[in-house]
Structure 1
């Protein structure tokens, strides 16, 4: 959620801390496990967030009318949610905490009971778990799970069991539970370890060029960049091992 990319300075610093492999083609024979992003890889995230924000705004109108009068517009609530990145950098890895504290902040500013942040967030979070999969997501997960241990690896706060996909996953890692998020190599390595393999034996799949591709390359994994919208690659000389427009195209390459 929000701007998930680094600036040029941040990218340069990150690059200096890691040694990256030269671009190579995907080696299917090396793959022993899959890690996969969730938001914007298995489902589009912004329609979900917009719907959850609308549900939250309606709840505030009923239970915290002063807050709703000042902050009832979902765009206004989102602006405060983004403000929390500056106010609480210690929560940068925890999307749930950032959202909850943003709600608490607007309640306080409006003079409503800040304790309402807990039930308000629960309303938002329940709606956030109601995902609508991309058409290729479920058949791809079924294909992958029959062949490899599949580990969810997300900076977001979706729960694979709550959204109804838990049976396809060997394990799941989220930034807010692990303590750091992508592109930090530690969360990639932990995901590989949960599948009982080394990073070099993992294929990571994700849509975000910086968090997923650059991050997984820095962790020593092979990477499939899911590029549904046909964006240009902006991180040369680094390259994903394979770029696909949909998940079934990748499955066909894995055979």
Structure 2
């Protein structure tokens, strides 16, 4: 097991920690295997219920154009991955000549499968340990539902960009997470994998930050370093013990 690394300039102070905010995708589970599986399930559903749309969605170029169109014409949905996915499905159905009302049940098929995640081995024991000691708040730009995933009992609250209106790295969602945990930002430890969204965002919002670096990536030389770099969540627990 790799030794966790304490990063400066601001040394980690475990005595200051009164609550935890934590990212979900790629911190508690790998996201892309989940999304790829959900997309296969969606494709199979469309093949049965809307074959013309299934054929159109099977074209990488056509699907890319649909997604680009939705992102360009619906900037109001930028922080709502569920709505972006639903409207992309609806546009594919319309362009294929299928019933656009099928977008709702099609999305639900995708969304249900998207909640079937496979946790990293360390995630559940670490969450159990953390939740026994701190209020833990999920802070995500994605659309995972901690209750549908089966982890709701470990969280005091869960904030998503979709519900809150802005996502990481905006300081407002970090401060809302701190408020949900019942502590000031300087007493929160934010835990996440993304250098920009979790790391730099959390630092600029005034939180202590633990960067979960499972794949030994380098931290950018031009970015302020996190307080901690850990290879997994159990190493984080050991530093908090």
**Would the aligned equivalents of 1:151 and 1:195 in 2 still touch at CA under 8 Å?**
yes
* 1:215 maps to which of 192, 201, 206: 201
SS in 1 for 2:117: coil
Cα distance, 1:113 vs. partner? 1.0
* 2:139 maps to which of 121, 144, 153: 153
Q: Structure 2: state its 5+ residue gaps.
A: 1-7
Note the 1:1-255 alignment, pairs <5 A: 23-72=9-58, 77=63, 80-81=66-67, 83-234=69-220, 236-255=222-241
TM (normalized to structure 1)? 0.88
Q: How far apart are the structure 1 equivalents of 2:146 and 2:86? A: 21
**Would the aligned equivalents of 1:93 and 1:179 in 2 still touch at CA under 8 Å?**
yes
Question: For the aligned residues, what is the CA RMSD?
Answer: 1.5
**Would the aligned equivalents of 2:170 and 2:201 in 1 still touch at CA under 8 Å?**
yes
SS in 2 for 1:153: strand
Number of aligned residue pairs = 234
**Would the aligned equivalents of 1:57 and 1:74 in 2 still touch at CA under 8 Å?**
no
* Greater RCO, 1 or 2 (C-alpha within 8 Å, sep 6+): 2
Cα distance, 1:72 vs. partner? 3.0
**Would the aligned equivalents of 2:56 and 2:63 in 1 still touch at CA under 8 Å?**
no
**Would the aligned equivalents of 1:143 and 1:251 in 2 still touch at CA under 8 Å?**
yes
**Would the aligned equivalents of 1:54 and 1:74 in 2 still touch at CA under 8 Å?**
no
Q: Structure 1: state its 5+ residue gaps.
A: 1-21
Query: Aligned in 2, Cα 1:141/1:83: closer, same or farther, shift over 3 Å?
Result: farther
Cα distance, 1:78 vs. partner? 6.0
Query: Aligned in 2, Cα 1:196/1:127: closer, same or farther, shift over 3 Å?
Result: same
Q: How far apart are the structure 1 equivalents of 2:49 and 2:58? A: 12
Q: How far apart are the structure 2 equivalents of 1:180 and 1:82? A: 20
Q: How far apart are the structure 1 equivalents of 2:62 and 2:128? A: 40
Cα distance, 1:236 vs. partner? 2.8
Offset from partner CA, 1:31-51 (integer Å, 9 cap, x none): 000000000000000000000
**Would the aligned equivalents of 1:175 and 1:182 in 2 still touch at CA under 8 Å?**
yes
Cα distance, 1:79 vs. partner? 6.0
Query: Aligned in 2, Cα 1:168/1:82: closer, same or farther, shift over 3 Å?
Result: farther
